[in-house]
Amino acid sequence: MQVGRFAVSSGVDVAATYDDNVDATNDNREDDITGNAGASVGAQSQFERHSLGFNAGASIGNPHDNLNQNTVDRLSIASGVNGRLDLTRRSSLSGEANFARGAQNPEDEEAGAEEQPTITTGSGAVAYTQRFNRLGWELATGATRREADNGDEASQQDRTSYTISPGVDYALSRGVTLFADTAYGINNYDHSGDGGSRDSQTVRADVGAEWGLGRTLSARLGVGYTGVFFEDSERDDRHVPTVTAGLGGAYGINLDRLTLLRLGFAHSTDQTTEDEAALVTRTGVFAAINRPLTRASAILGRVDFNRSDFVDDDRTDYNFSAQLGYSYSLLQNVALNLSYRFSQRFSDESDDEFYRNLVSVGLSASF
């Protein structure tokens, strides 16, 4: 919908889901059927210069029978605002702010995730960008606050993070861009973990290249260094060589006139509160296919695989998931949606292994 100089979109959805392992654990597996209803709205400016956008959504579902939660705990809220001020034709100032509240996925690796605590996150960021003929640079800074309710173990996730990220890139040719990114971060945790305080300072640096592979696919490869300096002397500082890689694009690869394939690869070192670890190195790949079946229906398939190596914990996880979805348009703006998802984790720690099946059926409407 066009409202003034803004393009506005909105939608509502209802769904019922069967979950055969609500806690994502192999011990005392519990199954349940839950219902969920949600609504969302978004607006994006259509200005010739500058930009302003807004989005908000909310959903609510009945809690699982074996969780000590009420309906309010299952209320999820997400909202955000973003904007860009074009100072000149080659420079701009941008910013965004986001807020989210909702139950944590029990498959998450963070402390206490199996109890599905309510996670509240607020973040804000500001960036200045300047471009010359081929050279461009950016200076970004931001802050994030994360809090977990409904559990003493989950409270280890409570933290405040600050970052500042200078970066520069150079267009070597029409399809190849060189980049150099750096970042400095401060992570302050409210509570200490089993291995001591996770409060730390992080330094990152990456150099590499990004190039286009046709009209719809791009690749990014970089090498660098990550240093983590803990305030607790009982934790060893870490100096880790890193590889950053990505393969993807806004549209993917057209296998034929109707079939769209998307591929992705990522490698990163991140903070974690799982057990005694403070850092985790993740490597993951995914493939997704989207294909219309008729003018009124479409099918989507996706497969994900990732490996997580926990520093200081001698634990390695292998996570696999596969999902199949089907959508059928009942009316012009109303669709019937069916989906099935299987996920499984293999781990050095047998207590952290699980497999899980989710079957969902629902209706969605867009305006």
Between 43 and 103, residue with greater pLDDT: 43
Partners of residue 363 on adjacent β-strands:
14, 336
Contact 270, 278 (CB under 8 A): no
pLDDT digit string, tens, across residues 320-358: 999 999 999 999 899 999 999 999 999 988 888 999 999
pLDDT classification of 174: cutoffs 50, 70, 90: confident
Average pLDDT, rounded, for the chain: 90
pLDDT in the model for residue 23: 87
Per-residue pLDDT, averaged over 257-286, amounts to 85
Total Cβ atoms within 10 A of residue 187: 20
pLDDT digit string, tens, across residues 43-96: 999 998 999 999 999 999 887 666 666 666 678 999 999 999 999 999 999 999
What is the rounded CA–CA span in Å between residue 218 and residue 247?
6
pLDDT in the model for residue 139: 98
pLDDT in the model for residue 151: 66
Does 251 have pLDDT greater than 60?
no
What is the rounded CA–CA span in Å between residue 112 and residue 120?
15
What is the rounded CA–CA span in Å between residue 176 and residue 130?
19
Of 289, 213, 281, 217, residue with least CA distance to 243: 281
pLDDT in the model for residue 59: 94
Per-residue pLDDT, averaged over 172-180, amounts to 92
pLDDT in the model for residue 250: 53
Partners of residue 167 on adjacent β-strands:
138, 181
Query: What SS3 string covers the chain?
Result: CEECCEEEEEEEEEEEEEECCCCCCCCCCCCEEEEEEEEEEEEEECCCCCEEEEEEEEEEECCCCCCCCCHHHHEEEEEEEEEEEECCCCEEEEEEEEEEEEECCCCCCCCCHHHCCEEEEEEEEEEEEEECCCEEEEEEEEEEEEEECCCCCHHHHCEEEEEEEEEEEEECCCCEEEEEEEEEEEEEECCCECCECCCEEEEEEEEEEEEECCCCCEEEEEEEEEEEEECCCCCCCEEEEEEEEEEECCCCEECCCCCEEEEEEEEEEEECCCCCCCEEEEEEEEEEEEEEEECCEEEEEEEEEEEEEEECCCEEEEEEEEEEEEEEECCCCEEEEEEEEEEEEEECCHHHCEEEEEEEEEEEEEC
Per domain, the residue ranges of the chain are 2-366
Where do we find the tokens 């499984």? Answer: 344
Q: How many CA atoms lie within 13 A of 280 on its CB side?
A: 22
pLDDT in the model for residue 367: 85
Per-residue pLDDT, averaged over 116-121, amounts to 91
Contact 337, 359 (CB under 8 A): no
Pick the CATH number of 2-366 from 3.40.50, 3.10.20, 2.30.30, 2.40.160: 2.40.160
What b/e sequence results for 25-58 when a residue is b if at least 16 CB atoms lie within 10 Å of its CB, and e otherwise? beeeeeebebebebebbbbebeeeeeebbbbbbb
* Cα–Cα distance list, 363 to 11, 12, 35 (Å): 11, 8, 12
Sequence-distant (≥ 6) Cβ neighbours of residue 367 within 8 angstroms: 1, 9, 10, 11, 333
pLDDT digit string, tens, across residues 17-50: 999 998 898 888 889 898 999 999 999 999 989 9
Of 223, 311, 220, residue with least CA distance to 265: 220
